[in-house]
């Protein structure tokens, strides 16, 4: 029997736990294009869920990985390695942070942030100061702690008992935070733009208000920038455009351009609570991941790339504005930079997935953010011509759904 997509998708159902339901089997990627195992081409506006900030197989990233792969893969954290220290040096230079903790994923970076916030409160205040305020609709990962801190019931139902001391407030409602925050609060955690929850921007006023409330109650402000970070919104991190500096920031997704790596960034004063033995990871900070992340940081953190993000967003904005002149299907674009959310209007609400599936047929990959929102998170350096070609394909998909 020939091993085509049907074979592999059947095999997938047979041997993989049923947590996912993929429709295609991808073989190869280059820049903003992918090919499935039958050779069909797709333009990639999904970016591996905001992971591929510099596209697939960027030559400089491949070169870094190959070079490091021939030199040193792993030593454990009992010993140090150069790529990790160099990366931490560069990342702290580029941000508010003075020290970082390295992990393998976004959930683990958040797990570290939440544990650190509690430990810091115990060290500097008292054991009662352990409550965490988070927001409805938020997403922070799939470990039991992060899924509980996440504000979407469906992701944690059936996994109890869950960790306690977590309070949910309404996003962009400062009054609600004011009512819920107290001297018992050790941290408030928020996404500058809720990604999985529907691409919903925190207003600058809200973020600034939360910052003030945290200061008044000596609580730490944690920004989960796993999705918004590493250039996605047009600055290295979203906080840099919001007039707010968090105490702890978490980063992953685009950090490794597909190589699994996460980071928790903070100040020396706060990091001091993570003394030897309090927290750790076998793979976190391994030379392969940190060498790659160092190269990705060099590629992304330049004025040309960051300004290019805005230019590309305009192309997407114009595309949907033009489509709307024919029929009002799409609401105003949400998100920032190349984290774009396009809400569906009226009768099209709830049908985001239909657009995704139709896109695949036309050779373009997009994302959804819940049932009502189309999401696009392409490479930050997607050539403008490629972006236009991808949107042209998506237009054909839209016409088919609407017909
Ligand atoms: C994707 C995501 C996470 C989880 O990251 P993983 O690497 O899948 O663990 C956490 N927070 C936000 C905001 C995310 O978008």
Rounded to an integer, what distance in angstroms lies between the CA atom of residue 332 and that of residue 343?
7
- pLDDT-derived band at 1, boundaries 50, 70, 90: low
Cis peptide before 161 (omega within 30 of 0): yes
CB of 329 closer than 6 angstroms to any ligand 1 atom? no
Catalytic residue among 101, 135, 139, 394: 139
Class of domain 72-300: alpha beta
Distance from C-alpha of 376 to C-alpha of 337, rounded to nearest angstrom: 10
**Domain 5-58+303-402, CATH:** 3.90.1150.10
Task: Tell me if 304 is assigned to a ligand binding site.
Answer: no
Residues for the chain: how many in total? 403
Residue 118 has pLDDT above 80, yes or no: yes
Which pLDDT band, with edges at 50, 70 and 90, does 21 fall under?
very high
Query: Is the per-residue pLDDT at 57 higher than 80?
Result: yes
What dihedral do alpha carbons 90, 93, 96, 97 form, nearest 10°?
Answer: 50
Q: Where in the chain is the domain with CATH 3.40.640.10?
A: 72-300
Q: pLDDT tens, 69-92? A: 999 999 999 999 999 999 999 999
Q: Is 14 a catalytic residue?
A: no
281 belongs to an annotated ligand binding site: yes
Q: What is the mean pLDDT of residues 2-23?
A: 95
Per-residue pLDDT reduced to its tens digit, 232-255: 999 999 999 999 999 999 999 999
Question: Does 139 participate in catalysis according to the annotation?
Answer: yes
Q: Which structure tokens are listed for 88?
A: 């931490």
Pocket test for ligand 1, best of 53, 106, 281 (most atoms within 8 A of CB): 106
Question: For the chain, where do the domains classified as CATH 3.90.1150.10 start and end?
Answer: 5-58+303-402
180 is annotated as an active-site residue: no
Rounded distance from Cα 258 to ligand 1 centre (Å): 13
Nearest CA to ligand 1 atom 10: 140
For residue 374, the cross-strand partners are: 342, 368
The pLDDT, as a whole number, for residue 325 is 87
User: Does the pTM exceed 0.95?
Assistant: yes
The answer to which of 1-10, 289-298, 376-385 has the lowest mean pLDDT is 1-10
Count the neighbouring beta carbons within 10 Å of the beta carbon of residue 22.
12
Q: How far is CA 253 from the centre of its chain?
A: 5
> Rounded CA gap, 398 and 403, in Å?
9
Average pLDDT over residues 28-37: 98
Give yes or no for residue 195 CB within 6 A of ligand 1.
yes
- Judged by phi (left if over 0) then psi (alpha if -120 to 50, else beta), residue 11 lies in alpha
Of 318, 346, 316, residue with least CA distance to 330: 346
User: Which residue's CA is the nearest one to ligand 1's atom 15?
Assistant: 227
CA of 30 to the centre of ligand 1 (A): 24
Tell me: the pLDDT tens digits for 98-110? Answer: 999 999 999 999 9
First to last CA, the chain: 38
Region 324-344: mean pLDDT is: 94
Which residues on neighbouring strands pair with residue 64, listed in sequence order?
none
* Exposure string for 36-55, b = 16+ CB within 10 A, e = fewer: beeeeebbbbbbbebbbbbb
What is residue 237's predicted lDDT score, i.e. its pLDDT?
A: 98
pLDDT recorded at residue 326: 80
């Amino acid at each position: 029997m020939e091993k085509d997509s049907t074979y592999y998708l059947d095999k997938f159902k047979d041997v993989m736990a049923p947590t996912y339901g993929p429709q295609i089997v991808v073989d190869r990627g280059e820049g903003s294009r992918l090919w499935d195992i039958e050779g069909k081409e797709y333009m990639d506006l999904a970016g591996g869920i905001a992971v591929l900030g510099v596209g697939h197989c960027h030559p400089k990233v491949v070169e870094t990985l190959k070079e490091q792969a021939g030199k040193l893969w792993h030593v454990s954290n009992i010993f140090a390695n150069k790529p990790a220290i160099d990366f931490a040096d560069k990342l702290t230079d580029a941000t508010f942070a003075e020290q970082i903790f390295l992990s393998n994923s976004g959930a683990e970076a958040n797990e570290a942030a939440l544990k650190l916030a509690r430990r810091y409160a115990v060290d500097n205040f008292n054991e009662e100061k352990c409550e965490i305020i988070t927001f409805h609709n938020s997403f922070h990962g799939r470990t039991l702690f992060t899924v509980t801190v996440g504000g979407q019931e469906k992701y944690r139902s059936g996994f109890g008992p869950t960790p306690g001391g977590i309070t949910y407030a309404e996003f962009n409602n400062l009054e609600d935070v004011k009512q819920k925050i107290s001297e018992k609060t050790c941290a408030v955690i928020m996404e500058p733009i809720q990604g999985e929850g529907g691409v919903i921007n925190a207003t600058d006023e809200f973020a600034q208000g939360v910052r003030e409330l945290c200061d008044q109650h000596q609580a730490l402000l944690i920004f989960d920038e796993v999705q918004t970070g590493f250039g996605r919104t047009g600055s290295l991190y979203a906080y840099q455009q919001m007039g707010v500096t968090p105490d702890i920031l978490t980063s992953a997704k685009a950090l490794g351009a597909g190589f699994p790596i996460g980071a928790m960034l903070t100040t020396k004063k706060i990091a001091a609570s993570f003394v030897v033995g309090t927290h750790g990871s076998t793979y976190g900070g391994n030379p392969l991941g940190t060498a790659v992340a160092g190269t990705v940081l060099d590629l992304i953190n330049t004025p040309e790339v960051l300004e290019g993000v805005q230019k590309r967003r305009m192309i997407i904005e114009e595309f949907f504005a033009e489509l709307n002149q024919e029929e009002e299907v799409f609401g105003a674009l949400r998100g920032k930079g190349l984290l774009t959310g396009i809400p569906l209007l009226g009768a099209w609400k709830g049908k985001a997935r239909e657009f995704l599936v139709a896109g695949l047929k036309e050779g373009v990959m997009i994302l959804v953010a819940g049932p009502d929102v189309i999401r696009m998170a392409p490479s930050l350096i997607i050539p403008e011509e490629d972006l236009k070609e991808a949107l042209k394909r998506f237009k054909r998909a839209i016409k088919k759904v609407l017909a």
